[in-house]
Amino acid sequence: MTTFVGQRVRRREDPRFLTGQGRYVDDLRLDGALHLTFVRSPFAHARIESIDASEASALPGVQVFTAADAGLGVNPAPPFVGIDPHMFRPLMAEQKVRFAGDIVAIVVAETREQSVDAAELVIVDYDPLPAITDVTDAVRDEVLLFEETGTNVALHRPPENPDPQLLASCEVVTSGAIVSQRLAACPIEPRAIAARWEDDGRLTAWLCTQTPHQDKQVLGMLLQIDESQVRVIAPDVGGGFGGKGIDVEDVMVSWTARKTGRPVRWTETRSEHMVAMHHGRDMRLEFELGGSRDGRIEALRLNILANAGAYPGIGAFLPNLTLMMSSGVYQIPKIEVELRSLVTNTTPTGPVRGAGRPEASQMIERAIDLFAADVSMDPAEVRRRNFIDKGAFPATTASGAHYDSGDYAGALQRALRHAGYEELRQEQARRRGESTTKLMGIGLSTYVEVTNGIGEQEFGAVEITADGGAVVKTGSFSQGQGHETTFAQIAAERLGIPIEKITVLKGDTDAVARGTGTYGSKSTQIGGVATSQASEELVELAKRLAAEELEASPDDLRLEVQDGQFQVAGAPQSALTWADLAGRLNEKGRLGELSVETDFQADQPTFPFGAHVAVVEVDTETGAVELVRLIAVDDAGRIINPMVAEGQVHGGLAAGIAQALYEEIAYDDSGNPLSANLVSYCMPAATELPNYEVVEMETPTPVNPLGVKGIGESGTIGATPAVHNAVLDALAPFGVRHIDMPVNGERVWQALQNGARAAS
């Protein structure tokens, strides 16, 4: 094979996962390690009157630590978020708890069982306070989480130059609200950490993470040591979905290891994971969409209320991405947005697959369907009339996004053609004319999202081994994305080295010089491009070294990629393979010269796009929804490995469908979590999902040399509004225009009853 990019190469990671040879943090053998258990608040909002650890501390081998012992202060939000420091999260709660799951003490013992038993003996005296869990309550500031600030608003971005007459000239104004409900990331592996302080005073931390190098920096900062004194090792990680980055638990385990002089480890239980790991979404979007009766959209007004949870961090920032993407794939001349992120007595929010972009897609795609109904037009036709034209790229929207490339009409056309859209509408009309308990609904979404949204750079390095193989080092980190395969494909194509002779190294901050990690669907477009760039630079370097060996001019040398050998132009007998060159240099002690390090940063983010069609059947007697078909066109630019890309799309579709039909983190009025395990959190299995119909489309981006965009979150962003729209399309004859997600079961049944009563 002379071309590796674009080929369906089997994932090289899979054999070790399928045969049980993957190695995770909890698999680590760490002699003499203590086991840690966190004592967490059962109250959502309360003052801490006292902590009595005497009974627990009296047990052999048990030690208990509180905030007074640690003295480490707070976990600040990233500086670009702009949060009032009064709202920063204490590493352990000292005077007040603000969500059920807040850490109030640490217990360590010789075994995991002993630490759990001892933690139950720590007596905390709480004085409960009123709790708020909903942003519509929080915005009234009647109950304050941080009295010093005088408000629950963590971040406010008012509209620029608000226009009271924004919608005045529109013939039709459609209004509504979407609640993008709170979700759990739920990776198959909960979080885990093991920490040990070495004899030389350095910290080694084994983390279940997406961001090893960022974690190294934060651990150094919060433990008040130079980051060069920290080594982070990320072994295999069983999924991340935005949920796994540095958090307070990682800091406190590392601190406890220093305090006790022993290695310390912690692995969270699933129920602990559901209340302690940050949640996603939880945003209310109120919209007014105006336009003409011929289906032309003219203006959008949007009010965003985002729930940042008890301690605002990245979750408070994410609505900025929602604002930026609010125009969707449509040419909307005027857009006005007000954004507020608020604190509540709930688990803090943060990135979960999509991270601020799904909410925008859910809002605008629902608004388009409602607008289409108000102007009595097919929703596909309204979309066609308002797309940003294929020839208009690069394009800048009224909401401030700078789109790189796209063909939105082409994506929708492919999806509709594959679905047999006209025939589906005919079948729907036939069913509506009959008396049936199974309603058919057809839902559309055409979406665009942003990947590498804050324009980060990534590190890449390539070095040749003594046998003519190659080692690729990357600052990106895979938790299921397949970098060991795709990055090797990129290097193999440029170097002419067989893919089986290329090793991809990641996740060890001592072995990889720097990096940003993996999130925001950015790995290939910066990490993969850095690998490509390093490979190309290495070829040029190798030409000069080979020319020395062959006593030729470097200008006369070329790399025959098919054979993996350097040849002198006009003298094919004068040639060196990579193995030949490496061997000669190794004998001279110069093998280290066959290596290149580089960084890549693009001028701007990329904007993948696509179109989804969902077909559902709704049982009018029970409210049960069955997703019958899901057709997905997801365009992520040039595809490195179609098999890997399809796997990412499949996972994304499952997550998007899950939000539309099944999943929701809920709280009662007192802030008690009602979804603290997988019995009460409704996650779909394969039996609830259809066979996806994936339609290929590639529109390369000019933003990077590979032409690649992100793919990891696209399916999630497109699927949710398509399925949501499909259910409401099925219920349209009953006059139902809105149901909060997840739209299944009781909510659908209740909407049908209300619709029937309204019609009578």
Please write the tens of the pLDDT for every residue from 498-513: 999 999 999 999 999 9
Distance CA 437, CA 449 (A): 37
Mean pLDDT of the chain: 96
- Asked if pLDDT for residue 760 goes beyond 60, the answer is no
Average pLDDT in the 440-447 region?
Answer: 98
- Look at residue 755 in the predicted model and tell me its pLDDT: 76
Phi then psi for residue 236, to 5 deg, are: -60, 140
> pLDDT for 221-231, tens place per residue?
999 999 999 99
Closest CA to 344 of 152, 178, 183, 156: 152
pLDDT tens, position by position, 85-138:
999 999 999 999 999 999 999 999 999 999 999 999 999 999 999 999 999 999
Least confident span in 65-69, 97-101, 572-576, 620-624: 572-576
Whether pLDDT at 603 is above 70 = yes
CB atoms near residue 696 (< 10 Å): 12
Domain ranges of the chain: 30-129+185-276, 283-452+605-759, 453-601
Alpha helices in 265-405 (DSSP H): 270-276, 314-317, 319-324, 357-374, 379-386
pLDDT at 1 over 60: no
pLDDT band at 73 (very low <50, low <70, confident <90, very high): confident
pLDDT number for residue 572: 74
Closest CA to 235 of 38, 30, 32: 30
State yes or no: pLDDT of 485 exceeds 90.
yes
Query: Strand 46-52 vs strand 63-65: parallel, antiparallel, or unpaired?
Result: unpaired
Assess whether pLDDT exceeds 70 at residue 758.
Answer: no
Q: How large is the average pLDDT for residues 355-376?
A: 98
Task: Supply the Cα-derived Rg of the chain in whole angstroms.
Answer: 28
- Report whether CATH 3.40.47.10 matches the domain 30-129+185-276: no
Residue 523 corresponds to which amino acid?
S
pLDDT tens, 386-417? 999 999 999 999 999 999 999 999 999 999 99
pLDDT exceeds cutoff 50 at 145? yes
Whether pLDDT at 486 is above 80: yes
Rounded Cα gap, residues 471 and 501, in angstroms: 9
Q: What is the DSSP string of 548-611?
A: HHHTS-GGGEEEETTTTEEEETTEEEEEEEHHHHHHHHHHTT-GGGSEEEEEEE-SS-B--EEE
CA 40 to chain centre: 26
CA distance 214 to 246: 8
H helices of 261-301, in order, are 270-276
Q: Could you identify the residue written with the tokens 């590392």?
A: 254
| pLDDT over 70, % of the chain | 99
| pLDDT over 50 (residue 481) | yes
Q: Which residues of 161-179 are buried (b: 16+ CB within 10 A; e: fewer)?
A: eeeeebbeebebbbebebb
Domain 283-452+605-759 classification at class level? alpha beta
Query: Could you tell me the pLDDT band of residue 302, with boundaries at 50, 70 and 90?
Result: very high
**CA neighbor of 654 nearest in space, from 499, 480, 502, 484:** 480
The pLDDT value recorded for residue 756 is: 64
CATH number of 453-601: 3.30.365.10
pTM of the model: 0.96
- Do 283-452+605-759 and 453-601 agree at the fold level? yes
Strand order through the sheet with 438-448: 438-448, 609-619, 625-635, 693-695
Which 3 state secondary structure label does DSSP give 388? coil
- Token pair of 22, please? 């993957």
In the predicted model, is pLDDT for residue 571 greater than 90? no
Query: In percent, how much of the chain has pLDDT > 90?
Result: 95
Residue 655's pLDDT band (boundaries 50, 70, 90)? very high
Task: Tell me the helix, strand and coil percentages in the chain, rounded to 5.
Answer: 30, 25, 40
C-alpha span between 277 and 291 (Å, rounded): 42
- At 367, the pLDDT band (50, 70, 90 cuts) reads very high
**Spatial CB neighbours of 481, under 8 Å, sequence gap ≥ 6:** 518, 523, 644, 648, 712
